[in-house]
Amino acid sequence: MRPLKDFPREARAAVRYVLTDIDDTLTNSGRLPAPAYAALEALHEAGIRVIPITGRPAGWCDHIARMWPVDGLVGENGAFYFRYDEAERKMIRRYFKTDEERTEDRHRLDLLAKKILSAVPGAAIASDQAYREADLAVDFCEDVPALPMDDVRTIARIFTESGAEAKISSIHVNGWFGGYDKLSMTRTLLAEVFGEDIDAIREQIVFSGDSPNDCPMFAFFPNAVGVANVRALAQEMEALPAWITDGEGGYGFAELAAALIDARS
């Protein structure tokens, strides 16, 4: 990972899309700082499309799509994309699985929840679980005392041994049934909403993130950027970003936004 200041100006000027994780990438200690939100608005006003790519639930994503200065978002680690059409005053919701498939998955995930909580004392079902449509989020440090990484790995292992996908974020282990992730639904969103071939334009896209569930994005985008706290979970990652900010969380994201906008001036 190289310092953001070494990201060539010409390459920064070519960026047309900023994709970003939310937790601990836009936030700091669970809060969205003013500089991060201002950075989203500044990117939007500069003509750069902004698309959060998050593990957060459908309920949150509906709010974000409506009220934040974004051009859509991917939620629950790739289970869907939402986009609010302001002209039509309509929310567009595109899911990887059908309603029936998600209902069937929910029964299987409920059984897994009981198994995980029994096997890993101190873990809890995430407080935002009620607003989820496709996955199970197990909290290991957001609203509970932080668990050791060995326990976090155990949670992920229980998911995978049961045939589910599992991704570790900075606060949750998310599990789901289905062959999708953040990158696959991002590919779908860009093709269906903006008519873009992600393979053809990946050097014109920056993804910013901080944790293992961002690895598919870090591996795919040559100009992926990690906020400084990416170092905390680097040993758990299969791929790392090319660049890293000086600041952590939302302050690092604001640093990235300023660098991209400056390159266009």
CA 78 – CA 54 distance, rounded (Å): 8
Q: What is the pLDDT of residue 21?
A: 97
Whether the full predicted model's pTM is greater than 0.95, yes or no, is no
A 10 A CB-CB count for 125 gives: 18
CA 129 – CA 53 distance, rounded (Å): 18
- Domains parsed from the chain with CATH numbers: 2-96+180-264 (3.40.50.1000), 99-176 (3.90.1070.10)
Torsion sign across C-alpha atoms 65, 170, 28, 187 = negative
pLDDT tens string 166-189: 999 989 999 999 999 999 999 999
Q: Which residue has the tokens 């093709």?
A: 191
Closest CA to 50 of 17, 76, 14: 17
CA 177 – CA 159 distance, rounded (Å): 9
CA 223 – CA 14 distance, rounded (Å): 11
Helix (H) or strand (E) holding 34: helix 34-45
Helix (H) or strand (E) holding 254: helix 249-264
Q: What is the pLDDT of residue 265?
A: 86
Torsion sign across C-alpha atoms 108, 109, 115, 119 = positive
Tokens of 19: 């994709």
Bridge partners of 216, per DSSP, are none
Query: Residue 2 in 3-state DSSP?
Result: strand
The parts of the chain modelled with pLDDT lower than 50 are: none
Q: Mention every residue, 6+ apart, whose C-beta is less than 8 A from residue 154.
A: 119, 120
